[in-house]
Chain A
């Protein structure tokens, strides 16, 4: 179900914890599983976590499926719902709002023609609002696909970024 490469990455996570505490690796394993689906999935449905892959991860770590499912639903960076090829999460918490975070989210929403929380009909983009990313000095900040942080996102910087995300 997951590639040999993903399994090797999960094994590296497992090795960080005591032999009888494999469960600790579930967060890393779900992240790795999600990354594989995001990069290989052709449709929004194929890019997010689903019951099958969560169960696979649980079995791989020898923990009950419900334990892995609980983790996947508790932490908000795991995509449990269909998601665009590019998920854009804009921080709109207070410190960012004071430096254009809210404006940045509105600008992207306008440009992509989707409201916050929506995915574009071509399945390319999902726009979300996020909480503090620990980078408020670089505001406005946004994350692309969870792992790529973009700083100082003025309208011009957003135009440039969106042109790259094709």
Chain B
């Protein structure tokens, strides 16, 4: 189900209407006005970047890096090709917002990428789309065709001397390609294995050329910022946390779905919007930012507001905005076991600590979950984790360790009980 409450990207989008995603409907909602404004007034590139900086927009893909600042890293005077790349390889468990942008408002992303291309002086861009969402890939291709026909994409856009082309690239099942340098390798037609950094993509990116990579939601926020002004976007959220954000709420709520709400909205309000807890069960824990974010127990979560600063102060991360809600029937060992399995499956295998470590984590958690935990297993998990985090090429290893550390910290008694008694404390029910 898609549910949208007032916001930036989905403002005025009627998700029930079959044609809401088409160009005509987008233009009727004020779409492509931002691009026209820039081209009509010949707005200098620096001014576009400054506007994005002033909006306080932070990357929506997970790391929350300021988007305007990232754009300013692109060498302006570089003589050869440069690229902008969109990351729609949405595979972080719990996250399903970018799919809805492609389904219901693809032109917001296209316009945002054209503006990014203008601001950074690039002539071409790619959108890398998650393998499992083929229908959305086809729709995005169709939206690109509409934009080309209308003169928003291609040579001499709207009769100016600005040209920009945009293409869709379809992934085929590898979570690691969400990591930006693995994504670039994959775009080049290789195995999606992350690159050593530095050099960073802004100097050595796609085909070795300067490249800027942003998440779908980051790009899709840009038309609003340019059209209505940085100030208006900033004011929609709270200081240092500009704008609204899409939260994908999943798990034990009555109405799972995407909610676009101001950053800084209390978690309790979001939970209410999502219809509250399913079957009136008690809230036990929440993973507030996608599976890689540390889990938080209900008591802590209920006091958080949904923004980068509040969630980080509580010891977790806003990440991609995927809010996974769990009730009292969930055994935390079983839940962690499933995540540990995922990271082990998806490790690309190039770094030994990650390839071996994710296997160790899974096997140890698996045996605890099955009543075969051994004394010392919690210490073992700790030491395996310490040998992984921060010692690898990319952050997947850290992403595998964060859940282990946070689950065993906040719900330690469940792990201790299972190791001691050979069975889990909670009589586990998924749903």
Which residue numbers of A lie inside 8 Å of B, CB to CB?
Answer: 16-18, 21, 23-28, 30-31, 63, 67, 70-71, 74-78, 92-95, 97-103, 130-139, 143, 146-149
Contact = CB atoms under 8 A, between A and B. Distances in A.
Interface in B258-301: 258, 291
B169 interface: yes
Given A77-B173, A99-B256, 17 more contacts: A16-B126, A17-B167, A30-B172, A75-B192, A78-B172, A92-B338, A93-B93, A93-B342, A94-B93, A94-B338, A98-B431, A135-B99, A138-B1, A138-B256, A147-B134, A149-B132, A149-B135
Contacts of B346: 131
Interface centre among A102, A135, A148 (most CB of B within 10 A): A135
B192 A74 contact: yes
Contacts of B191: 70-71, 74
Given A71-B189, A78-B172, A149 B93 contact: no
Contact of B173 (A24, A75, A138): A75
Nearest to A75: B172
A147 B172 CA distance: 10
Nearest to A70: B191
A24 B207 CA distance: 10
A70 B193 CA distance: 12
A100 B100 CA distance: 22
Given A93-B93, A137-B249, A21 B207 contact: yes
Give me the 5 closest cross-chain CB pairs, A-B, nearest first: A77-B173, A23-B189, A133-B132, A147-B134, A75-B172
Interface in B87-105: 90-96, 98-99
A20 to B, nearest CB: 9
B187 interface: yes
Given A23-B189, A146-B134, A147-B134, A134 B91 contact: yes
A137 B2 contact: yes
A27 B422 CA distance: 47
A95 B172 contact: no
B170 interface: yes
Given A74-B174, A98-B324, A147 B135 contact: yes
Contacts of B99: 134-135
A133 B250 CA distance: 13
Interface in B155-190: 167-175, 186-190
A136 B186 CA distance: 25
